[in-house]
Amino acid sequence: MIKKVLPPSHFLNRELGLLEFNRRVLAQAADESVPLLERLRFLTIVSSNLDEFFEIRVAGLKEQVKLGVKASGPDGRSPAEVLALVTAQSHTLIAEQYRLLNEVLLPALAREGIVFPKREVWTDAQRAWVKEYFFRELLPVLTPIGLDPAHPFPRVLNKSLNFAIELEGRDAFGRKSRAAIVQAPRALPRVIRMPPEVAGAPHAFVFLSSILHAHVDELFTGMEVKGCHQFRVTRNSDLFVDEEEIKNLRIAVQSELLHRHFGDAVRLELADSGSPSTGEFLQQQFALDETDIYRVAGPVNLYRLREVPDQVDRPDLKYPPFQPGFPDPLMATRDIFAALQAGDVLLHHPYQSFDPVIEFIRTAVTDPRVIAIKQTVYRTGTDSELMTILIDAARLGKEVTVVVELMARFDEEANIGWASRLEEVGAHVIYGVVGHKTHAKMALVVRREESPQGPVLKRYAHLATGNYHPRTARQYTDFGLLTANEEICADINEVFKQLTGLGRASRLKHLWVSPFTLHRRVLNAVRNEARLAKEGKAARIVAKMNALLEPELIEELYAASQAGVQIELVVRGVCALRPGIAGLSENIRVRSIVGRFLEHTRVFHFANDGADVVHLASADWMGRNFFRRIELAFPVLDPALKARVIREGLQAYLDDTAQTWIMDADGGYVRAATRRGKRAVQEDLLNQLTNATWLRSPKPAAAALPSAA
């Protein structure tokens, strides 16, 4: 089969699209309609996003350039060209981030009594408090490292806070050293709260770096400190596991994790007060180019400021807390299995509670009629209640099978820990399929029940667009479906068989599964809409996802647009498709929603001449999701629930006029303009689906987390 050559002009670049997304997140920090402490939180989210961007995406580009890779991506740019563009735009974005912090947010916070006193204006009382803190908390755990032939430049951990010290004089042994490195203790907070009576303000914070700066001379007695400059290095953090050579995936991943902290340097952040000679010295140590150095006007890690909103008791400067609602079927009965026998239950997080999912598994553990529980785990957290429940189930003698994805980026250590604990109590732990990340979100419960014909085994299931992670279920938008539909449960059982055993993929009745059928099914659904449009029948595509990158699918969307299909795409992050081009994509509109919650749902709606095909999915429209992962797209069959998904998960986003960004053909975004009263989709859904309008909760939902799968 000859592979079709696709025109580079049809595609936008992935890395540049990711930076565009971070510009939209940064715009939330500049938006005066967003509560002030949440604006600070959005600023820190950008820093976290950029950390991962450099650790993975920029690191990958640098590796390709180093290896002399000339092959271009779908947009036609070579790795070297993309790296140059990404570097230039990253410098601009980071400079704007610090400008916003220093010129806008810090003055606004100060007006509200939230201050960050600088060393040069500390009062005598503040200096005394800082000194006491330094000698009590900091000095005992610091290890200054003088640089000389016996003490070479130390191994600097990825993203750790460090200080380059310029010295003059001789030490106790007569050694003449001009430089030293001090690594900030990882156990200490980077932002320390100063008592109000000392600060003279209700909420005051001092940076750990400022405390060390003020007393760094205590570390080098008898020598003169000429300069103290904070810096931070970001390293390549992508894991490399040779899938053809490994014999034990867990051991291979554990081995690679040891090297993650010391991968090749890709970025150096340096306080702009640092001397040119210090910058040159560090640049040489980390083998970086001048363009890889980011001189910043403030702390070298703004993500550490995320601690501040949680320490400031000012509800008026935060998003109002809310109490997630419960679906009516589960409010009517405490028997979750009886509720599912009556019909499917749809959950829309975070507006509706994640508790029914936990209760579904917990009830399965305590119910003596349940004999088996199977579940996939991609991201679940280090303190997961669900994992603890599964461990209890195995202890009680239930047949527990857990497919744990060990290669879930930045969650590998947590997942290895849960895998070990599950194995210790006799659970069947499977590490998925080598070469294909298990990204599907599914759980299956097998229960022995009575019937007129005698005892039978009945299956119940949960499928979702998001992870089994209770904390992110309060911060990400996702759909979950609880069902006892026999055909869907049979499909899920087949997928588990594929994951845990050996054999060919079976034909499924309802589920679209990667890497076998999902790509083909989506392509066919798009082609069907194009055919219907040509026949003059009702044809429309509305899809919501985190990213759209797969070239063949993009080409099919272009073809559908040319056939007259109206296509509405809600893409939170990067989109390689060019919308609104005459003769190519004039019938395609792309929008992005950025707000309080991180948009994470994947919903695909094909009008199908009025028959309305609606699928929820764990997969974005990306090559990795279609071909290198185990993913599920599952239908919503109940007509009422299908209508609800269309209304809440798609149409509400098309009606939004407050949080929407409209994409142009060149990959730029502008806020949606409107002459009507502004409608914010997330606020509307909060008001519709929570038990009461924005009730106070002991665990208020925060702004969106940096990234998700």
311 with 366, same domain? no
Question: What is the Cα–Cα distance from 56 to 50, expressed in whole angstroms?
Answer: 10
**Is 10 one of the annotated active-site residues of the chain?**
no
Residue-wise DSSP of 478-507: EEEEEE--HHHHHHHHHHHHHHHS-SPPPP
**480 in any annotated domain:** yes
Give me the mean pLDDT over the 450-471 stretch. Answer: 91
User: How high is the pLDDT of residue 698?
Assistant: 34
For residues 370 and 398, the answer to whether their CB atoms sit within 8 Å is yes
Say if 197 falls within a structural domain.
Answer: yes
Q: Which of 459, 476, 500 is the last residue of a domain?
A: 500
**Domain shared by 483 and 522, yes or no:** no
Tokens, residue 593: 């929603």
pLDDT in tens, 81-106: 999 999 999 999 999 999 999 999 99
* 488 shares its domain with 546: no
Give the DSSP letter string of 43-68: HHHHHHHHHHIIIIIIHHHHHHHHTT
Distance of CA 469 to the CA centre of its chain: 12
The CATH number for 367's domain is 3.30.870.10
pLDDT higher than 90, residue 31:
yes
Domain boundary among 446, 476, 500: 500
Residue 247: is its pLDDT beyond 70? no
pLDDT band at 697 (very low <50, low <70, confident <90, very high): very low
Q: Please count the other Cβ atoms lying within 10 Å of the Cβ belonging to residue 407.
A: 21
pLDDT class of 151 with cuts at 50, 70, 90? low
More confident residue, 60 or 679: 60
> CB neighbours of 351 closer than 8 A, spacing ≥ 6?
324, 325, 685, 686, 688, 689, 690
Helix, strand, or coil (residue 580): coil
Strands 114-115 and 203-207: parallel
pLDDT digits (tens, 9 = 90+) for 363-390: 999 999 999 999 998 877 777 888 899 9
**CA pair distance 319, 577, nearest whole angstrom:** 34
Q: Which residues form the domain of 657? A: 512-689
Is 90 exceeded by the pLDDT of residue 174? Answer: no
Question: In whole angstroms, what is the distance from residue 286 CA to residue 282 CA?
Answer: 6
User: What CA–CA distance (Å, rounded) separates 352 from 690?
Assistant: 6
Identify the domain boundary among 250, 285, 317: 317
What gap in Å lies between CA 118 and CA 177, rounded to an integer? 30
Query: Is 694 within a domain?
Result: no
pLDDT band at 694 (very low <50, low <70, confident <90, very high): very low
Q: What does the H/E/C string look like for 293-359? A: EEEECCCCCHHHHHHHHHHCCCHHHCCCCCCCECCHHHHHCCCHHHHHHHCCEEEEECCECCHHHHH
Do 368 and 222 fall into the same domain? no
Residue 544 lies inside a defined structural domain of this protein: yes
DSSP 606-673: E-GGGT-EEEEES--BSHHHHHSEEEEEEE--SHHHHHHHHIIIIIHHHH-SSSEEEE-TTS-EEEPP
- Cα of first residue to Cα of last residue in the chain, in angstroms, is 33
Q: Does one domain contain both 45 and 76?
A: yes
Find out whether 117 and 129 touch, Cβ atoms under 8 Å: no
Same domain for 343 and 475? yes
Residues 33 and 119 in one domain: yes
For residue 698, being part of any structural domain is answered with no
Residues 221-244: pLDDT tens digits?
Answer: 888 899 999 999 999 887 554 454
Looking at residue 700, what is its pLDDT? 36
Catalytic pick among 10, 436, 439, 462 = 439
Kindly state whether residue 388 falls inside one of the protein's structural domains. Answer: yes
Structure confidence by residue, pLDDT tens digits, 597-607: 999 999 999 99
What total number of domains does the chain contain?
3
The tens digit of pLDDT for each residue in 315-368 reads 999 999 999 998 888 887 878 999 999 999 999 999 999 999 999 999 999 999
Q: Give CA–CA dist 575/585, Å, rounded.
A: 14
Contact 318, 37 (CB under 8 A): yes
Residue 257 lies in a domain: no
Q: What is the pTM of this model?
A: 0.91
Does 553 lie in the same domain as 468?
no
| CATH number for position 214 | 3.30.1840.10
Is 219 a member of any domain?
Answer: yes
562: left (phi over 0), alpha (psi -120 to 50) or beta: alpha
Is residue 475 located within the same domain as residue 528? no
Q: Based on the fold, state whether residues 680 and 652 are members of the same structural domain.
A: yes
Residue 670: Cβ-neighbour burial (10 angstroms; 0-12, 13-18, 19+): exposed
Task: Tell me, yes or no, whether 548 and 610 share the same domain.
Answer: yes
